[in-house]
Every structure is written in structure tokens, then in C-alpha cells.
Structure 1
């Protein structure tokens, strides 16, 4: 798939979303849903405007696009709420991140193993991958006139903060699932998790202090 085609489609979709954003805020229609519909229409199953290779064949482009999108989304959450909001909700946020998220990972793992018939290692990876709240989807839920009218400010802040923090904290669950599958040893999984999570916290704190 040519990168210029992808950039043209993404840019065009961004212009469309920006042009109709005010109207979208009043409708049960979100930016991720619009992107999904556009992907289905332009994909190989319908119009075939985007010659998308299967992920099992070529995943590099999707990987990099997902990383950029995730970084922008998490940064948007960080800029939306000051550190004071994090302090106000620290107890509820700790429960969501340290109790609810691992519980959802365990439930999803059990369903994947018992219902879908996945192998245990695959079920663990499945549960760890889907348990974090997506910051892109959360942003579309907590912003706009409908959200401000129907959702209390505390709930909107909590959902945004949790969605911004849980991707990094879910990494140890993903690494643990990979360790169970075999490619990583237990020691390597622990060191990788500590480096990725604690290293990111230290780097973020230093950059925040400098800025």
C-alpha cells in the first residue's frame, strides 16, 4: 500500500471531520465510527480504493500509524486536564487502574479461553489487549454537547484520565502473556515491564519539570 494514498485518505477524512465536527457533536456519531465506515467503504471488500494487505502479511504501516495515533491521543488527555485533576481523582483512578482493569483482563481471558476456545497464552494476550479503555473512543464519548449535558464532569474526567493512563499500565499484562506464550522468560518480562513503565514515568516527570 502506497504511503501517499494513505496520507491522502487520512488527510481528507480529517478535513471532513473538522468541517462537520459541530454537527457531529449533536448526533450519535463519533469520529472513530466515521473512520471505521470510511475504512470499510474504501477497503478491498467494497470499493477497493485502498489496496490493504492483510495484517499477517504486512503490519509495519498499521503499527506505526497506531503508535502515532495513540501518542497524540494520550497527549491530548494530558493537556486537557491539569495535574490538579489527577490529584482530585487519585483514589478512584487507582481503583480503576489497579483493580478494575486487571479484573477485566482476567474476565476477558476466561471468556476467550472458555467460550472462544483460544489457547491459554492467546487468551491471556486477548484479555490484556482489550482491557484498556481506548483514549480515542473515550475522547469521543466525553466531549461535545451531549456528553456535557448527560455525563457529570467527574465521570468525564475519570474516563479521560483512566483511558490516558491505562495503555502504559496494561503493558505488563501484555508482556506477561507473551512470556506465557514462550518468546520471553519471566525475568525478561519483568525487566521489560519495569523499563517501559517506570522509564516512561521518570522521563515524563523530567520533561514536565523542565517544561
Structure 2
């Protein structure tokens, strides 16, 4: 009888992941709307509990699921999320808000990158080019964690739509724009001369990966929009295929980008923008919950896998000389406090979509580090290990006899535990921030005696907005819904 029990790795994964998703789905309204909790920190906790360090039911390393598997998993999740953000942004959003996004993708990212590099260089025995490489992985904000905070919920309704859309657009685009930062450090580490480094950075990273990736994404999105509208108007596409079309297109973009070696996330984001630029597809799928279902499954699976893959033994000096839990906590605290908040407060007068100091503080805090950092760290390792985008299955152990200041073989061994620790900390801090903010604001209201007494957790509604934020009633009530022509084609069969 006992021979019938087959508790293999995949079978346990189906069981544990299915049980978690069922539990979360059963109590999702209470968890999200009352407790202000999202799936990433909960899924990470599930991965940790059932991972190798606790119950041992989920052991990716023992199942030969190496860093190449993590690379492809993060690639798919990020590409789908970036494409989704591009689709969900309002019609012609980029044209109307380009000044704000340009500031976030320019000065804010550059300063955040340099600040992180300085902290890493000061805390660990690394060369500054190595610190720049590691810091580039921490530069982008994560679209998965951002979506869990900024999606429709009682908490997000307390934030102006203008601010939510700005942060979503930033998280959807800056994973791709982080590649130039990453390859600056890599070029210095790998190339002997400045001329060779600059040549590869401009030709490969800027023009091919980023520039051509954006153009190709715009072409794919525009072409797909026209094909789908043609098919839809002539009743050639089934409802089920029509609703899932955006996911299939996102996967297609991932395949095109990874095959051609261009920037996966800029291609996916620009394809999403072009696909929905006329407002037709978002208007047709406004009531569709399929994207939410897909996001829940993909994102939760990703963070369960991450929780089970955290390299706990490498967080100490025994795992890697120069690392310690104390230094990692110090780095996490410095990054959370100084990576974005000071520069956002400084540039507040130059970012049109930020209209108050409270909004600048909010936007500075909600810059989570997540799946994008994991992908970029593996990309960096692959370039240092094989000079390609294909990593070795596992990071090598600490190479003996290397100098005190880290050269690139030691960076290969160090970058993964550092990034994993920061991602873990950001997932917890940013995932629990809505809960903490909700409790603090409720305590402040009760102390001041303003308004009716509400439950300590989950008592905020639309009329309970964050103080210090500026509201444009017409814009926020409408949510900048798509307008204009192009919504009349083929209305007959959906």
C-alpha cells in the first residue's frame, strides 16, 4: 500500500502550491481588503516553511532546478507583468506623462544605482565596478510587488489614480532600462580597454538590446492589435481565445526577445503599450478577471519558488568570506531608506505627477525590489561565467586565493546571496507596508477624534484618503479611461 505513495518533488509542489492558492482564494477578500496583505510575502513565507531549511518538502536544488530554471521562470513572470502594465495603462498615457516617467527612469534610477553601489562598496570587500554590477540588479522597481500594492483595493483607493499609474508605468519600464546600468559594471569587469567596453555597451546594450527591442515591441503590438481587430470584427475569434490573447502575445514577445537577444522587458512593455494604444482592447476586456487569475497563479508560484530557493547558508561568513547577516541587514536598511526617498523628495518640483511632499515620500518608499533583481543577478552571473546570457546551473563556491578586493570570479559567488537577501527584505517590508500604514493611520484618526470609529484593520474606504495627497476628482473618478474612436468595431459577440 505504501508503495502507492509517490511524494516526489513535482507532486509535492502541486500539492503545496495548490493548497496555498486554494486557501488564499477562499479568504482573498478578507486578506486583501481587511488585512491589507498581498500574495508575494505570504507565498514567500510558504516557500520558506516548506523549503529545505524548515520542513524540506520543497527542495529545488535536490530536484536539479538550478539557476537556469530560476532565470527562465523570472523571465516569463516579468515579461507577462510588463506586458500587462503596458496594456492596462490609459490611452496615450506615455504622451501625456512622459516628463514624470523620464525623471523616474533617468535621475531617480541613476542616483539609486550609485547610492546602492556606494553602500555595497563600503560594507563589503568589493571593487567599485563589482559594486556597480551588484547595485544595478537593485535599481529597478518590481512590477510584481508594485502590482500587489497598487492594484484595486481599499488601500490603493486611498492613493490618487495619477500616482498609482505613474508607479505602475515606472515598474513596467525600468526593469528593461536597468540593462544599461548592469552592463556598465560588467563591461569594466570583462573588458581590458575603455574603448572596447564603450563599443560593446553602445552597440549591443543600447542600440540592439534596448533600442531595437523597443522598436520590435512597438511593431509586434501594433500588428497584433490590427490582426485581432480584423478577426474580431469578422467573428473569426472565439471568446475564450480573445480573452487570453494578451497572455499568448506576452509569451510570444518573451520568445522573440530571448531568441534575438534583445531586452525582454522593454520589448514586452512597449508591445503592451502599442497593443492597447487606441484603447480598444482594454475597453473590451474591462470586466474580464482572467488577468487577475493569471497574475495570482504566476506571481504566487514565483514567490513560493523563491522562498524555497533562498540560500540561507550563504548569508554568513562561513558561506562566503566577507558576508555577514549584520552587514546584510545594514545594507537592507540603508537601501530602503536612502535608495529612492531622498532623490524623490529632491526632484519633487520637477515631476509633474507628484503634487505634494506626501506623494513624493509615498513614491520614494514604494519602489520594491523583487523578481527583476533576481533575473538581473543571474544575467550578471551568466555574463561573468560564460560571456553569454546562459548561466551555469549553480553558482561556484568561493574561489580560493583571490585578493581581498573582489574580482569578477568572487562577484559570481557573492551576487546571488546578496540579491536574495535584499529581495527577501523588500518583499516583507513592501508587502506589509499597507498593513502598517493602515494601522498607523487608524490610530492617528482615533487619537485625533476625527471621523467615526472604524475597525483597526481594514477600516479605510474611498472617503478615507491619505492626508497630504492631492486629488483631482474628475481624473480619479474616471481613472483616465480610454476615450475617443475605435471602440465600435465588432461589438456583436462578446
- Establish whether residue 25 from structure 1 lines up as the match of residue 38 from structure 2: no
Report the counterpart of residue 196 of structure 1 in structure 2. 209
**Pairwise CA RMSD:** 2.3
- Counterpart selection for 1:115 from 113, 123, 138: 123
Q: CA deviation at 1:10?
A: 4.5
- Establish whether residue 153 from structure 1 lines up as the match of residue 161 from structure 2: yes
Which contiguous aligned blocks of 4+ residues in structure 1 show a shift greater than 3 angstroms? 1-20
Structure 2 unmatched runs, 5+ = 1-7, 226-494
Report the counterpart of residue 181 of structure 1 in structure 2. 189
Q: Distance in 1 between matches of 2:12 and 2:183?
A: 34
Report the counterpart of residue 439 of structure 2 in structure 1. none
Deviations 1:75-121 (A, max 9, x none): 22112113422222211110000110111001101111012333223
Q: CA deviation at 1:16?
A: 4.0
Q: CA deviation at 1:183?
A: 6.0
TM-aligned CA distance change 1:192 to 1:33, over 3 Å: same
Report the counterpart of residue 108 of structure 2 in structure 1. 100
- Establish whether residue 129 from structure 1 lines up as the match of residue 142 from structure 2: no
Q: Distance in 2 between matches of 1:188 and 1:4?
A: 45
Q: Distance in 2 between matches of 1:90 and 1:141?
A: 23
The range that moved more, 164-173 or 142-151, is 142-151
Report the counterpart of residue 143 of structure 1 in structure 2. 151
The structure whose Rg is larger is 2
Q: Distance in 2 between matches of 1:16 and 1:181?
A: 47
Q: Distance in 1 between matches of 2:211 and 2:79?
A: 17
Q: Distance in 2 between matches of 1:8 and 1:119?
A: 45
TM-aligned CA distance change 1:190 to 1:12, over 3 Å: farther
TM-aligned CA distance change 1:49 to 1:95, over 3 Å: same
The range that moved more, 165-174 or 140-149, is 140-149
Aligned length: 209
TM-score by length of 2: 0.40
Residues 149 and 156 in structure 2, CA contact (< 8 A), matched pair in contact too: no
What secondary structure, in the 3-state scheme, does the structure 1 residue paired with 2:154 have? helix
User: Of the two structures, which has the highest relative contact order with CA contacts closer than 8 Å and spacing of 6 or more?
Assistant: 2
Residues 77 and 161 in structure 1, CA contact (< 8 A), matched pair in contact too: yes
Report the counterpart of residue 430 of structure 2 in structure 1. none
Q: Distance in 2 between matches of 1:181 and 1:12?
A: 45
Q: Distance in 2 between matches of 1:182 and 1:70?
A: 27
Q: How does 1:49-64 map to 2 (within 5 A)?
A: 49-53=57-61, 58-64=66-72
TM-aligned CA distance change 1:124 to 1:131, over 3 Å: same
TM-aligned CA distance change 1:119 to 1:20, over 3 Å: farther
Report the counterpart of residue 206 of structure 1 in structure 2. 219
Q: Distance in 2 between matches of 1:74 and 1:9?
A: 27
Q: CA deviation at 1:195?
A: 1.0
Structure 1 unmatched runs, 5+ = none
The range that moved more, 44-53 or 1-10, is 1-10
Kindly indicate which of the two structures has a greater share of residues assigned to helix. 1
What secondary structure, in the 3-state scheme, does the structure 2 residue paired with 1:45 have? coil
Q: Distance in 2 between matches of 1:168 and 1:5?
A: 34
Deviations 1:154-208 (A, max 9, x none): 1100000000000111111111111122169412232221211112111111122
Report the counterpart of residue 427 of structure 2 in structure 1. none
Residues 36 and 155 in structure 2, CA contact (< 8 A), matched pair in contact too: no
Report the counterpart of residue 327 of structure 2 in structure 1. none
Q: Distance in 2 between matches of 1:202 and 1:101?
A: 22
Residues 25 and 144 in structure 1, CA contact (< 8 A), matched pair in contact too: no
Q: CA deviation at 1:7?
A: 5.8
